[in-house]
Amino acid sequence: MFHDNNVLIQLKKKFKVNIKRVEGIVKKSEKGFGFLEIDAQNSYFIPPKKIKKVLHGDKIIAKIGFSKNREIVIPEKLIESFLTIFVGKLKIFNKKFFIIPDYPFLHEYIPCTFLKEDLINFESGDWFLAELTEHKLKNNNFFHAELIKFIAKKEDPFSQWWVTLTKYNLKKDEPKVNLDNISCSSYQRKDLTSFPFLTIDSSNTRDIDDALFVKKNKKKSFELIVAISDTTSFVSSKSQLDHIASQRGFTNYLPGFNVPMLPRILSEDLCSLKPNEKRPVLACKIYITEKGEIQNKNKFFMAWIKSQAKLSYKNVSDWLEKKDSLHSSNIEIEKQLLLLHKLCLARMQWRKKNALIFPERKEYKFHLSRNCEILKISADDRRIAHRIVEECMISANFVAANFLSKKVGFGLYNNHAGFDISHAHNVSVLLKKNNIFIEPEELLTLEGFCKLYRLLKKKKYKYLSNRIKKFQSFSEMSLVPNPHFALGLEKYATWTSPIRKYGDIINHRFLKSIILNKNPIFIKNKILKKISDQRRRHRLSEREIEDFLYLKYFKKNNFDKKIFDAEIFDVLRGGIRAKILENGANVFIPKSFIHNIPSEIILNKDEGIISIKEKILFRTTDVIKIQLIDIRMDKRSIIAKTII
């Protein structure tokens, strides 16, 4: 009887107008409820019944309501699903098939069917690539997925590798190309096969792309020849092999094995600078003073070499440190190592004064059995042999950048911009609080940036360095040269790993076009984007496999009672993240495991400080004592507590 009541109609209209809607990202908790995160400061509670209509990570529009005097939101419209194409694990219940997405906060059992064949041949725990075809916020009000591709059986010891590579759309095998008629391009080359070139790599390296030779001239300055595998003599531009290499971008080095960018017959044989084998190279002669300064008369040329020794970082370091004999009876090789050592020290001294030196870091290595069981995790310091190779490669890449910019004005450069204008101001303010006075304008220059980091290293401002690093920009690739602030160099262009990096193949072609007096091949910016994207995917895949192996390692060895030293590297609202120094594992320490009265703790993310009652307890870069509490395989996290 109230259907035509005008007052009621007006009230309804007014009510509809006043309904507020918000847009955000769904964040689910372990306890079955969730929030709609609008931005870093604002979020709304989603009731348990309504949270079932969405997935963690979904971007949605929701209407604001009230429940028990609390503001809530009701999911209303899907903007973008977190899941589209995804990897998941099959589950079978009562002859019904479900797929569970392989993400820490996604535990939904999504009904599924297989596009290609009957699922009767598979069992619970097998891995698939799937596509979400129905979402509860859409018309049908249910979730559904189609299984696109079988990935691995649950008992496959490499299943996590195949799952991770599939997730990031990376290849798991070497390229399959017919190489029956492949041969090296015929160029006029200098014959340097009598020179005692040597290579230094890890003991198990097979894709060797750089060899070194050095001598001292009458003026007592160094003449260094860096010889790099002439990979482009086998991989011609616009060929099928070139297209494959450009799509892969890099060799993917994962714990346990690598997936090469090029077929192994090239990467580990024909292009590899194996000992006592004649190989074509692109070489650079670099003139370096006794004090380590690179002179301006360097030159590039093509040559033949024959490496006379394949040495390992460990053996060379042990020999130079007088801990072991050299695994080579060649006196000329010993002379080469002594000269390379002197050259390395000179270059390091020059870079300390005029550029920047990489901070020292440990290298963590997983030792696996054939069935992917973790035997141990070693932590190795970078030693003198690593520094020798590093200084030679940095010198070669610096010379290449100058050569390209002078001869053609472009190339594939690695740039690092340091700070932008706004961040330079923030850093200057932060420095003044620590009685360091450098104006923003100076920080924007290469000289000012180097001055800052040399000062921070000299004074051992570890915490301050950590805070300032968060203001730095990221390195990027460009076709035009700009300074590389992080290295402290005016220009930088890598060309020393063409077997492993497609970007270095591009620079080889630029360099060879200059040597041969030909027009350089033009490349498009989309190639840079593709290379950057592939580099990101490779890093993510490597990190994910490492995280998985850490979880297996701690689960297997039961370290519950052991106390570890760990360095804090991040402060979050809910706790702190730290790295175990013994093995490199990242752990999370919840707020409740830092102090027994969580309400008294203040976690300052911006300043990286943990305080209790206004007294600083910890800050980033502090090394603390921790004990492991829980290994959560499904969440891929290691939970720890502090020991005070």
Q: Give the span between the Cα atoms of 8 and 3, in whole angstroms.
A: 8
Q: Which one of 44, 103, 313, 461 is the catalytic residue?
A: 313
Task: Tell me if residue 500 is catalytic.
Answer: yes
Strand partners, 281: 229, 303
Q: Which one of 58, 209, 318, 504 is the catalytic residue?
A: 209
H/E stretch holding 587? strand 586-590
Q: Give the span between the Cα atoms of 576 and 591, in whole angstroms.
A: 8
Q: Which one of 279, 467, 500, 537 is the catalytic residue?
A: 500
Task: Tell me if residue 126 is catalytic.
Answer: no
Task: Tell me if residue 209 is catalytic.
Answer: yes
Torsion of CA 420, 425, 431, 435, to 10 degrees: 150
- Whose structure tokens read 């997935």? 55
Q: Give the span between the Cα atoms of 291 and 40, in whole angstroms.
A: 51
Structure tokens at 434: 């620590």
Structure tokens at 64: 């604001």
Task: Tell me if residue 201 is catalytic.
Answer: yes
Structure tokens at 224: 């260094």
Q: Which one of 201, 230, 318, 622 is the catalytic residue?
A: 201
Exposure class string for 147-176: b at 16+ Cβ within 10 A, else e:
beebbbeeeeeebbbbbbbbbbebebebbe
| Strand bridging mode 110-114 / 144-152 | parallel
615-619: strand order across its sheet: 601-604, 609-612, 615-619
Q: Which one of 58, 102, 126, 207 is the catalytic residue?
A: 207
State whether residue 78 is helix, strand or coil: strand
Task: Tell me if residue 324 is catalytic.
Answer: no
Instruction: Please answer whether residues 379 and 582 qualify as being in contact, where contact means their C-beta atoms are separated by less than 8 angstroms.
Output: yes
In the chain, DSSP finds a helix count (H) and a strand count (E) of 14, 31
Alpha carbon of residue 32 to chain centroid: 33
Q: What are phi and psi of 228, to 5 degrees?
A: -115, 135
DSSP annotation of 267 reads I
CA angle, corner 193, sides to 189 and 198, nearest 5? 120
Task: Tell me if residue 191 is catalytic.
Answer: no
Instruction: Please answer whether residues 90 and 123 qualify as being in contact, where contact means their C-beta atoms are separated by less than 8 angstroms.
Output: yes
How many Cα atoms within 13 Å fall on the side-chain side of residue 421?
0
Q: Give the span between the Cα atoms of 233 and 457, in whole angstroms.
A: 44
List the catalytic residues: 201, 207, 209-210, 313, 500
